[in-house]
Amino acid sequence: MTNQELNELIRNRRSIYPPEFINKPISKELLETILTNGTYAPNYKKTEPWRFKVLQGDPKTQLGLFLSNAYKGSTPEDKFLEKKYLKIQEKANKSSAVIALCMQRDPQERLEEWEELAAVAMAVQNMWLTATQHGIGAYWGSPKAIKKADKILPLAEGEKCLGFLFLGYVEDAKRPAKRLPLEERVVWMS
């Protein structure tokens, strides 16, 4: 990969949502590559705090139902929209795979929680970039319902769900993103 290709991959990674996903399965081999690249993220004290759960088939359908029912349960009847309820279910149904993004807190709390959350987020970026390179669209969803994720995911003591990475092939996964100019976010101190 050239320097320019690397820059393009990073700058063209986007959040791409399930309505755009095409009906094409992601092979187990490629999912393993995506997950393996995730695990190469830096992590303080080598706790490897990421815990990933790959949902396909029935568990993925159950996730869609769980998320849409959470919306139903938290919305007053007069505000409830059947269309939105079905749209939430479709997120899981239209994805070829959904990766539950979980973080296992160090049992001895040798490091701060944010350091472990950051390590998982870095793993997610590795996975997201790998997906993009393979023509797979992805987005990180963090609905409020993740607080009750233990209802559908096996979570160990001290393990938290940080959201879901919805994955599916798209016609074109690389699209330019807009960001503020450097001077709005960077201070050079010399």
Ligand X SMILES: Cc1cc2nc3c(=O)[nH]c(=O)nc-3n(C[C@H](O)[C@H](O)[C@H](O)COP(=O)(O)O)c2cc1C
Interface residue list for ligand X (CB under 6 A): 14-15, 139-143, 163, 177
- Give the distance from CA 147 to its chain's centroid: 16
Least Cβ distance, residue 174 to ligand X (angstroms): 11
Query: Do residues 13 and 128 touch, judged by C-beta distance below 8 A?
Result: yes
Beta carbon nearer to ligand X, 59 or 143: 143
The candidate with the shortest Cα–Cα distance to 127, out of 135, 138, 119, 116, is 138
Least Cβ distance, residue 80 to ligand X (angstroms): 20
The amino acid sitting at 107 is P
Beta carbon nearer to ligand X, 38 or 163: 163
Least Cβ distance, residue 14 to ligand X (angstroms): 4
State the Cα torsion 94-100-101-103 to the nearest 10°. Answer: 170
